[in-house]
Amino acid sequence: MCLSTVYKGDVAPENVLMQNVMRIECDGDMVILTDLLDRQVAVQGALVMADLVGGKAVVRESAE
């Protein structure tokens, strides 16, 4: 099973949005992250990069 850590902006410890992410959905300008325990975080923005082998993804948040 490939789980990922999702970051906002840049891959850095202080930018972690969610860990153990098993699903990433993009719905319009929303990125919905779901972790192994079925918890969800919704972020207004766009998926910039997903490295599934490396277990990381980056989301760029939209200006509100």
What pLDDT, in 10s, does the model give residues 8-18?
999 999 999 99
CA pair distance 56, 50, nearest whole angstrom? 6
Average pLDDT value for residue range 22-27: 96
| CA–CA dist 33, 56 (Å, integer) | 12
* pLDDT, average across residues 16-39: 97
Q: What is the DSSP string of 2-61?
A: --EEEEESSSSGGGEEEEEEEEEEEETTEEEEEETTS-EEEEEEEEEEEETTTTEEEEEE
pLDDT band at 43 (very low <50, low <70, confident <90, very high): very high
Residue 58 confidence (pLDDT): 98
Q: Among 8, 53, 45, which residue's Cα sits nearest to residue 27? A: 45
In this prediction, residue 63 carries a pLDDT of 74
Give the global pTM: 0.92
Domain ranges of the chain: 4-61
How confident is the model at residue 37, as a pLDDT?
96
